[in-house]
């Protein structure tokens, strides 16, 4: 049984009898709905000790409340009367509203947790069941026992040891030459985008985004005051010619892009477009926010290096995450940019949540220094490549006449085109078959019902993937 919290009642001997003050306070809490019908109340000895009064004073207050029907006392417990209405009574104002005006804000809908028994192909999530929790727990214990206190306030920019390890990783794997001073650790890539928006964007600034694209990034940029300008995407990624047309019409403050595995189409930005994009950024002096959310998972050929690795003018703000390597719930991301910008970002970080989890950052730094995280990444790359193959085989076997797609060279999802299907109707029939997926309208800037769906495979094992596709086939209209 959960131990009750201390019961707060403010008493003032100057304002009347203590018995009446106690009874009025408890009755008031019941009226407001803070104490619900059937809720336990502290024993008379416990409450008397908490309030610093004689036990008989509390007993007298309880007798008064019982006589008025507010509470019920038994041989071993005292509770709020069970037959009271659950909502606040006697005309007390609802607390759902506010006494001050609010600015409307509608974030993109969160994907709810699927009901038990439902298989979700939504998102490009990793399999949290495969996180090396034993290694992580061991490293975390060592971090907590370190002589340098990991639970005190630390650097808002992130733990230096972790930033140093990140710098090594970015240099060896992604071709970025960055110093620890050019890295800021964040609570996931979403916080990195939020901080970038606070530091970079002024109300009314135009920010170009990919369409289809990532709605959560759009919402974050809008919250910073940006006016978004959608740009089309094709098989070679962002259509840079459309960006040139936009620049001829008006200046832009920034471009948000996912060039490695475009979200959600999985297209890789071609080399000529990469070079042209960087030229435009230098010429027109706008920031390129490069979200490289799943760089580690490239299965065929050599992974394409980030735009930031070719940036010589300081245009690119590089955003990365370890959520796909480990698990989203660990909330571990980062951004890399010229030190003048990371100083500004750090200042913004210091007035929001001030700092991240130093102990956890040091634990992950140890895994990186020992090569254990790298080994885990290699393992996950093999696992996810196998799962991609299973999904491709099952879709081809059961849905081959209805879905067409290009095999992605990396990533954690398929982007498939539906042939001769009403996706809203099929999605609803799939929901009844207990299988979920995201379809085109969720990623289109104008919420148009484009005939595509995104199937995430990394979070499901082969048995779950086969069953998911079987249910999708059973739900075909």
Instruction: Give residue-wise pLDDT tens across range 434-463.
Output: 999 998 899 999 999 899 999 999 999 999
Q: Name beta bridge partners: 288.
A: 255, 316
Whether residues 365 and 386 share a domain: the answer is no
Residues 45 and 159 in one domain: no
Position 203 in a domain: yes
Q: Is 105 within a domain? A: no
Question: Which residues are 120's β-sheet partners?
Answer: 436
The answer to whether residue 388 is domain-embedded is yes
**pLDDT score at 96:** 60
Of the pLDDT bands very low, low, confident and very high (cuts 50, 70, 90), residue 107 is low
Q: Are 31 and 179 members of one domain?
A: no
User: Both 27 and 153 in a single domain?
Assistant: no
Residues 304 and 429 in one domain: no
| 94: in domain | no
Q: Are residues 277 and 138 in the same domain?
A: yes
Side by side, the strands of the sheet bearing 206-211 are 183-186, 333-336, 316-321, 287-291, 254-257, 206-211, 227-234, 237-238
464 within a domain of the structure (yes/no): yes
CA distance 227 to 476: 40
CB 287 within 8 A of CB 251: no
Residue 326 and residue 245 share a domain? yes
* Residue 1 counted as domain residue: no
Among 129, 32, 134, CA closest to 85? 32
> pTM (2 decimals)?
0.82
Taken in order 101, 103, 108, 110, the sign of the CA dihedral is negative
pLDDT at 280 over 90: yes
Are 165 and 147 contained in the same domain? yes
HSE-up of residue 299 (Cα within 13 Å, Cβ side): 20
Instruction: Indicate whether 412 pLDDT > 50.
Output: yes
Q: For the purposes of burial, counting CB atoms within 10 Å of the CB of 91, is it exposed (0-12), middle (13-18) or buried (19 or more)?
A: exposed
Residues 392 and 363 in one domain: no
- pLDDT of 473: 96
Instruction: Select the more confidently predicted residue: 93 or 205.
Output: 205
CA 379, 380, 383, 385: dihedral to nearest 10 degrees? -110
Are 364 and 398 within one domain? no
Instruction: Tally the domains of the chain.
Output: 3
Domain boundary among 328, 352, 370: 370
Residue among 459, 422, 384, 391 nearest 113 (CA): 459
pLDDT of residue 91: 44
Q: What is the pLDDT of residues 288-343, one digit of tens each?
A: 999 998 888 888 877 789 999 999 999 999 999 988 888 777 788 999 999 999 99
Residue 6 domain-assigned (yes or no): no
By the 8 A CB rule, do 219 and 109 touch?
no
Q: How many residues does the chain have?
A: 477
Nearest Cα neighbor of 178 from 345, 295, 336, 369 is: 336
Range of the domain at 354: 131-370
Per-residue confidence band for 97, with pLDDT thresholds at 50, 70 and 90 = low
Q: Please determine, for residue 88, whether its predicted confidence score (pLDDT) is greater than 60.
A: no
Mean pLDDT of 110-123: 79
SS (H, E, C) the chain: CCCCCCCCCCCCHHHCCHHHHHHHHHHHHHHHCCCCCCCEECCHHHHHHHHCCCHHHHHHHHHHHHHCCCEEECCCCEEECCCCCCCCCCCCCCCCCCCCCCCCCCCCCCCCCCCCCCEECCCCCCCHHHCCHHHHHHHHHHHHCCCCCCCCCCCCCCCHHHHHHHHHHHHHHHCCCCCHHHEEEECHHHHHHHHHHHHHCCCCCEEEEEECCCHHHHHHHHHCCCEEEEEEEECCEECHHHHHHHHHHCCCCEEEECCCCCCCCCCCCCHHHHHHHHHHHHHHCCEEEEECCCCCCECCCCCCCCHHHHCCCCCEEEEEECCCCCCHHHCCEEEECCHHHHHHHHHHHHCCCCCCCHHHHHHHHHHHHCCHHHHHHHHHHHHHHHHHHHHHHHHHHHHCCCEECCCCCECCEEEEEECCCCHHHHHHHHHHCCEECEEHHHCCCCCCCCCEEEEECCCCCHHHHHHHHHHHHHCCC
Contact of 411 with 261, CB cutoff 8 Å: yes
pLDDT in tens, 198-254: 999 999 999 999 999 999 999 999 999 999 999 999 999 999 999 999 999 999 999
Pairing of strands 40-41, 78-80: antiparallel
Asked if 364 and 438 touch (Cβ cutoff 8 Å), the reply is no
CATH number reported for the structural domain that contains residue 74 in this entry:
1.10.10.10
Question: Do 366 and 385 lie in a common domain?
Answer: no
CA distances from 429 to 82, 122, 323 (A): 42, 16, 32
pLDDT at res. 92: 45
Contact 264, 443 (CB under 8 A): yes
Q: Name the percent of the chain lying above pLDDT 70.
A: 92
Residue among 453, 471, 466 at smallest CA distance from 392? 466
Describe the crossing of helices 339-350 and 188-200 by its angle, rounded to 10 degrees: 100
Domain with 213 in it: what CATH number? 3.40.640.10
Answer whether residue 89 shows pLDDT above 60: no
* Band (357; pLDDT cuts 50, 70, 90): confident
Contact 203, 209 (CB under 8 A): no
Q: What is the mean pLDDT of residues 261-270?
A: 93
Which CATH number covers residue 429? 3.90.1150.10
CB 278 within 8 A of CB 290: no
Establish if 158 belongs to a structural domain.
yes
Same domain, 340 and 380: no
| CA–CA separation, 404 and 212 (whole Å) | 18
Alpha-carbon distance 370 to 423, whole Å? 47
What pLDDT shows up at residue 311? 92
pLDDT tens-digit profile of 371-407?
898 899 899 999 999 999 999 999 999 998 999 999 9
């Amino acid at each position: 049984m959960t131990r009750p919290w201390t019961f707060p009642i403010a008493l003032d001997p100057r304002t009347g009898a203590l018995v009446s003050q106690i009874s009025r306070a408890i009755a008031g809490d019941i009226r407001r709905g803070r104490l619900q019908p059937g809720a336990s109340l502290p024993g008379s000895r416990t409450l008397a000790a908490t309030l610093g009064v004689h036990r008989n004073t509390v007993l007298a207050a309880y007798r008064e409340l019982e006589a008025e029907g507010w509470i019920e006392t038994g041989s071993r417990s005292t509770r709020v009367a069970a037959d009271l209405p659950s909502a606040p009574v006697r005309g007390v104002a609802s607390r759902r509203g506010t006494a001050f005006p609010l600015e409307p804000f509608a974030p993109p809908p969160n994907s709810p947790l699927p009901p038990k028994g439902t298989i979700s192909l939504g998102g490009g999530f990793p399999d949290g069941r495969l996180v090396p929790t034993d290694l992580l727990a061991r490293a975390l214990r060592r971090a907590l026992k370190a002589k340098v206190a990991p639970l005190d306030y630390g650097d808002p920019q992130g733990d230096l040891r972790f930033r140093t390890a990140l710098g090594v990783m970015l240099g060896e794997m992604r071709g970025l030459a960055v110093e620890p001073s050019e890295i800021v650790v964040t609570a996931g890539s979403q916080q990195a985008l939020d901080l970038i928006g606070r530091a970079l964007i002024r109300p009314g600034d135009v920010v170009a985004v990919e369409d289809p694209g990532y709605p959560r990034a759009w919402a974050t940029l809008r919250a910073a005051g940006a006016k978004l300008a959608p740009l089309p995407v094709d098989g070679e990624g962002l259509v840079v010619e459309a960006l040139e047309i936009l620049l001829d019409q008006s200046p832009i403050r920034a471009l948000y892009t996912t060039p490695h595995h475009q979200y959600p189409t999985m297209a890789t930005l071609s080399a000529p477009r990469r070079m042209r994009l960087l030229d435009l950024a230098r010429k027109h002096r706008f920031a390129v926010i490069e979200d490289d959310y799943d760089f580690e998972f490239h299965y065929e050929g050599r992974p394409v290096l980030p735009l930031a690795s070719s940036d010589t003018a300081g245009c690119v703000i590089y955003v990365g995450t370890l959520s796909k390597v480990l698990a989203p719930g660990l909330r571990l991301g980062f951004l890399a940019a010229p030190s003048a910008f990371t100083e500004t970002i750090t200042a913004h970080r210091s007035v929001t949540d001030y700092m991240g989890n130093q102990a956890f950052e040091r634990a992950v730094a140890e895994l990186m220094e020992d090569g254990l995280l790298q080994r885990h990444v290699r393992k996950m790359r093999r696992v996810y490549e196998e799962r991609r193959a299973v999904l491709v085989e099952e879709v081809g076997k059961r849905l081959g006449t209805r879905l067409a797609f290009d095999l992605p060279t990396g990533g954690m999802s398929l982007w498939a085109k539906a042939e001769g299907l009403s996706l809203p109707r099929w999605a609803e029939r799939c929901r009844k078959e207990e299988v979920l997926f995201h379809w085109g309208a969720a990623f289109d800037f104008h919420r148009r019902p484009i005939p595509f769906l995104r199937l995430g495979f990394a979070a499901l094992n082969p048995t779950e993937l086969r069953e998911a596709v079987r249910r999708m086939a059973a739900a075909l209209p």
